[in-house]
Structure 1
């Protein structure tokens, strides 16, 4: 990443390049001639081409797109961005000697060389701290080998703040931003960081921040995140909800809520009429110990009850559940159940669409159709052998 700096002396020494261009009330100043390739663009966010290209028309195109940098190349090409990518290298302005197709008195770069203009808007930044989250570096990523495997779809758009918030709600240790508009979460990183300047794609939703790059993650770490102790337990256990305010112990059950033969679905609830079950934790999968049927966990969603599926044959199970050491809460006598390394996001909520049944909910949310957030009570889920 190369931060633009005003090059007034160079610009005014070469008036035919277009030292200062006006776009409305904004002045665009010439920054110099930079190297460029089709494989790694110096300005990579947007582009256009025209046989009648001019410096003015390129600046107009980039300005209308909200970009702060505009570059002309090969006489007919125009590129835009918020920051110069680190692959571009400043070279002599004399090398950018192709006349613009729409105005032969102006220079529009050359082959693999781009004349760049800047409107003075500061480039995006990488916040070093967002709440409990600290910047951890720029990391490589790929579709075939994800560094952080859990993608978050954020309706309001991806920013550093919204991505770290979503990952925190999901109980993850790491949050990563990629391609300017993707948010990924996880609990470990398998590769080393690369040059910080490589993560130089602005967030689509907030162009004052960086959101990674192509196959690159801007990564944040939450040092306050909890750490799992076990993802497999060798003996069966029961689950008890322990309220954090007054240490009330409430037995929990796996309760069937819907059946469509030969499959049924269950949730965790405090419904005392439910059948007694013991649970088993194996490789992050939570299941019941019923011998005749296999009841196993499905993926846990923020704002929802943990869901289980019962079939006559084995099913595709998901978690990722784990156990954590006693957090020191009164009433908790052993380890506690966690999801994505978080044991403190559980709550008991009255299900207003099911006769106020008291259901376990993971990280309850506002405006849910089945419960009122204000009436949910935080709990830990204690594992008792």
Structure 2
């Protein structure tokens, strides 16, 4: 198997490839390794490693929540919001990778999200048999999802916490115990597509930290 484009430089809609037989175990491991290498990480996605210790963790109020969407609210302009959604960014045989993005022109196969025991499972109404799960949440990267017939257990690092901007407002999404590290960053390798990034960092291959805007992700 060979593919040379980064999973973050492709914003076109991809068709899923359905399979009927369980893929070999070594095929799963190889794809996971390749995906992590493309993101310039040094941890296997199966390790589900938390990159930034939650120095001031918020209390998780809910680790499960059915049928919700996400709305990004800018910290520097609380009256301004933009919807965010899971979009597919790369499909290789039998596997599709996705990220969380505010791209308004990108189509999405996922009508809504569910939160189950800390893992996010996007859902498709047109094809309810598709199985998409949260894959990883690393410092400086977009929340990543994978779709395949036999997906790994969802990465369980998400929960809903209190809204710090509006105490009477909707709950907000936290990643690795923090709801205050989300940003929207223009992706310079994907025609400026604005993706959600957790804890942006300097010298990243896909964005400039100075161009990112901090947000909270509200459940709606």
- With normalisation by structure 2, the TM-score equals 0.70
Q: Structure 1 residue 340: deviation in Å?
A: 1.6
Q: Bigger shift: 275-284 or 235-244?
A: 275-284
Q: Deviations over 1:14-54 (max 9, x none)?
A: xxxxxxxxxxxxxxxxxxxxxxxxxxxxxxxxxxxxxxxxx
Q: Which residue of 1 aligns with 2:113?
A: 279
Question: SS in structure 1 opposite 2:136?
Answer: coil
Q: Which residue of 1 aligns with 2:58?
A: 226
Q: Which residue of 2 aligns with 1:351?
A: 187
User: Could you list the runs of 5+ residues in structure 2 that have no partner in the other structure?
Assistant: 1-49
For 1:2-21, what aligned pairs fall within 5 Å after superposition? none
Question: SS in structure 1 opposite 2:67?
Answer: coil
Q: Deviations over 1:47-106 (max 9, x none)?
A: xxxxxxxxxxxxxxxxxxxxxxxxxxxxxxxxxxxxxxxxxxxxxxxxxxxxxxxxxxxx
Question: SS in structure 1 opposite 2:133?
Answer: strand
Q: Structure 1 residue 325: deviation in Å?
A: 1.4
Q: Which residue of 1 aligns with 2:16?
A: none
Moved over 6 A (4+): none
Q: Structure 1 residue 333: deviation in Å?
A: 3.2
Contact (CA 8 Å) 1:337, 1:343: kept in 2 or not? yes
Q: Which residue of 1 aligns with 2:123?
A: 289
For 1:122-161, what aligned pairs fall within 5 Å after superposition? none
Q: Which residue of 2 aligns with 1:328?
A: 165
Q: Bigger shift: 356-365 or 248-257?
A: 248-257
Matching of residue 170 in structure 1 with residue 1 in structure 2: no
For 1:1-385, what aligned pairs fall within 5 Å after superposition? 170-172=52-54, 222=55, 224-233=56-65, 235-247=66-78, 248-273=80-105, 274-275=107-108, 277-290=111-124, 291-329=128-166, 333-384=169-220
Distance 2:72 2:216 in 1: 6
Q: Deviations over 1:269-294 (max 9, x none)?
A: 01112225210000110111221201
Structure number with greater CO (CA < 8 Å, separation at least 6) is: 2
Contact (CA 8 Å) 1:319, 1:339: kept in 2 or not? no
Q: Indicate how the Cα distance of structure 1 residues 310 and 253 shifts in structure 2: closer, same or farther if over 3 A, else same.
A: same
Q: Structure 1 residue 171: deviation in Å?
A: 4.7
Distance 1:304 1:314 in 2: 21
- With normalisation by structure 1, the TM-score equals 0.41
Distance 1:314 1:359 in 2: 23
Q: Structure 1 residue 239: deviation in Å?
A: 0.6
Q: Deviations over 1:84-137 (max 9, x none)?
A: xxxxxxxxxxxxxxxxxxxxxxxxxxxxxxxxxxxxxxxxxxxxxxxxxxxxxx
Question: SS in structure 2 opposite 1:374?
Answer: helix
Question: SS in structure 2 opposite 1:312?
Answer: coil
Q: Deviations over 1:237-273 (max 9, x none)?
A: 0011110111211011111111012110000001112
Q: Structure 1 residue 326: deviation in Å?
A: 1.5
Q: Which residue of 1 aligns with 2:45?
A: none
Q: Indicate how the Cα distance of structure 1 residues 241 and 373 shifts in structure 2: closer, same or farther if over 3 A, else same.
A: same
Q: Structure 1 residue 379: deviation in Å?
A: 0.2
Q: Which residue of 2 aligns with 1:142?
A: none
